[in-house]
């Protein structure tokens, strides 16, 4: 990595700026002035204030001059929320500020979503999911457990079958499990009475007619999910959240990172979490040997998000649909394609192998493992920890402190122990 436009301030320059560059002029017959042995409190306060002012000024000038954006112009600073806008309710799912405090406890839906090339792509409504878990379903093909709260998308899906490990990741969100069948052990678990089990039924699902969808043509809608909630008296979810930064805290952390990069003022020290944080503008996550399912992310500083694509060079595009009830439509008719761009990307390394049926996957969800948390253009390395099925995953840095996630959509990839994470 080549460091550009690095600015340093020497002790002599500080003294020259605030104490004086030369000795006082002597007049004939006068005695040389006595050298002061120490600063008075007034002088010390003046010096400290001056240094702070100088460093602040140079910081702002340096950032505006020497940190170009991707377009080559001076960087656009994030709009820092004011104290007034920081007050209010925040989503437990995404950490974003809520206009309506009641939506903080709105029903949550955990929807099994395919990612195969056999009609599963492009997914529909996936940009509205607050958290997305990604893991291999079978034969190296990845699948998503997409977590929605109060969705408004006219179409959501496709919907596919359930696995036990997805169910165990879903549990802390207190959600309705939305799926179409599943592996035998998963079906036994979800039908035990412990869960709100919303499986394929004409009342809340419909089949699309687009020929390229093949068997990945089962969809639901926000309107149908609301109907289900009303029918089942499912009025709220008591979800367990990840630790989150507020929007103001996230922007301040991003500003601090940019300032440290320009002035080179982040000094590693014992217990300093900055030692665990590194620049990470590009990410590659490999689940196996298939470029069709291994993913790339490229950090976009303008939106402070990660543009998601696949190692084979294709973008991960999904259909973003209008809000409201449009009836039972094919997404190809009414929605537009947009690239997935989460705010936070997490790779957690898991123990994985074949299930007893020799076909499906078996993934260990209770325990701990290596974790990489990418946000604000940087990566924090550490571990993930989940103590029980009902408990939420915690992401810890290398000092053992819980990592607070930036607000926005979070994409969590369960990377097999034989996979890799590069940045």
Token code pair at residue 255: 């500003």
Neighbours of 51 (CB within 10 A): 14
Residue with the larger pLDDT of the pair 213 and 39: 213
Q: Where are the alpha helices (DSSP H) in 149-246?
A: 164-170, 184-190, 222-231
Strands 420-422 and 352-354: unpaired
pLDDT at residue 185 is higher than 60: yes
As a whole number of angstroms, the distance between CA 420 and CA 407 comes to 26
pLDDT at residue 176 is higher than 70: yes
Neighbours of 163 (CB within 10 A): 26
As a whole number of angstroms, the distance between CA 173 and CA 205 comes to 22
**Quick one: which of 356, 284, 292, 296 has its CA closest to 116?**
292
Lowest mean pLDDT among 212-226, 242-256, 270-284: 270-284
As a whole number of angstroms, the distance between CA 394 and CA 273 comes to 17
pLDDT at residue 346 is higher than 80: yes
The predicted model gives 11-20 an average pLDDT of 43
Lowest mean pLDDT among 70-84, 196-210, 324-338, 347-361: 70-84
pLDDT band for position 9 (cuts 50, 70, 90): very low
Q: What are phi and psi of 380, to 5 degrees?
A: -115, 125
Token code pair at residue 316: 């991960």
Question: Which one-letter DSSP state was computed for residue 101?
Answer: G
Handedness of CA 121, 125, 128, 131 (dihedral sign): negative
> Domains in the chain, start-ordered, CATH in brackets?
101-244+277-422 (3.50.90.10)
The predicted model gives 150-163 an average pLDDT of 97
Residues 219 and 24 sit within 8 Å (Cβ to Cβ): no
Cα atoms in the Cβ-side hemisphere of radius 13 Å centred on 58: 17
**Quick one: which of 102, 126, 112 has its CA closest to 178?**
112
State what percent of residues in the chain have pLDDT above 90: 69
Lowest mean pLDDT among 79-83, 191-195, 270-274: 270-274
pLDDT single digits (tens) 275-327? 467 899 999 999 999 999 999 999 999 999 999 999 999 999 999 999 999 99
pLDDT at residue 93 is higher than 80: yes
pLDDT score recorded for residue 255? 84
pLDDT band for position 367 (cuts 50, 70, 90): very high
As a whole number of angstroms, the distance between CA 180 and CA 206 comes to 12
As a whole number of angstroms, the distance between CA 122 and CA 352 comes to 27
pLDDT band for position 101 (cuts 50, 70, 90): confident
Tokens 């630790």 sit on residue: 243
């Amino acid at each position: 990595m080549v460091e550009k436009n690095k600015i340093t301030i020497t002790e002599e320059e500080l003294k020259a700026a605030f104490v004086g560059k030369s000795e006082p002029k002597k007049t004939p017959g006068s005695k040389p002035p006595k050298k002061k042995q120490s600063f008075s409190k007034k002088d010390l306060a003046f010096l400290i204030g001056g240094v702070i002012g100088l460093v602040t000024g140079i910081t702002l000038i340096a950032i505006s001059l020497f940190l170009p954006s991707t377009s080559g112009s001076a960087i656009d600073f994030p709009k820092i929320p004011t104290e007034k806008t920081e007050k209010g309710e925040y989503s437990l799912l995404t950490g974003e500020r809520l206009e309506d405090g009641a939506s903080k406890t709105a029903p949550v839906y955990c929807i099994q979503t395919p990612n195969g090339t056999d009609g599963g792509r492009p997914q529909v409504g996936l940009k509205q999911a607050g958290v997305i878990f990604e893991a291999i379903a079978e034969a190296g093909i990845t699948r998503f457990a997409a977590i929605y709260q109060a969705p408004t998308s006219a179409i959501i899906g496709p919907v596919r079958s359930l696995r036990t490990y997805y169910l165990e990741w879903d549990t802390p969100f207190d959600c309705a499990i939305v799926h179409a069948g599943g592996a035998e052990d998963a079906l036994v678990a979800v039908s035990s009475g412990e869960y709100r089990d919303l499986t394929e039924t004409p009342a809340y699902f419909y089949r699309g007619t687009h020929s390229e969808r093949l068997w990945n043509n089962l969809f639901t809608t926000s309107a149908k999910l609301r109907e289900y909630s009303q029918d089942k008296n499912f009025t709220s979810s008591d979800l367990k959240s990840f630790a989150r930064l507020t929007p103001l805290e996230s922007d301040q952390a991003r500003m601090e990172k940019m300032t440290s990069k320009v002035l080179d003022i982040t000094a590693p020290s014992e217990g300093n979490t900055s030692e665990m944080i590194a620049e990470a503008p590009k990410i590659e996550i490999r689940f196996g040997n298939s470029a069709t399912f291994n993913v790339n992310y490229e950090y976009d500083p303008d939106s402070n998000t990660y543009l998601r694509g696949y190692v084979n060079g294709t973008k991960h595009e999904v259909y973003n649909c209008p809000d409201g009830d449009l009836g039972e439509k094919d997404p190809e008719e009414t929605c537009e394609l947009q690239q997935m761009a989460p705010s936070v990307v997490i790779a957690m390394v898991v123990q994985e192998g074949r299930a007893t049926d020799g076909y499906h996957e078996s993934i260990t969800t209770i325990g701990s493992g290596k974790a990489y948390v990418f946000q604000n253009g940087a990566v924090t390395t550490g571990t993930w920890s989940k103590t029980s099925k009902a408990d939420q995953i915690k992401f810890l840095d290398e000092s053992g402190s819980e990592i607070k996630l930036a607000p926005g959509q979070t994409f969590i990839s369960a990377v097999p122990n034989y996979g890799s994470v590069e940045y």
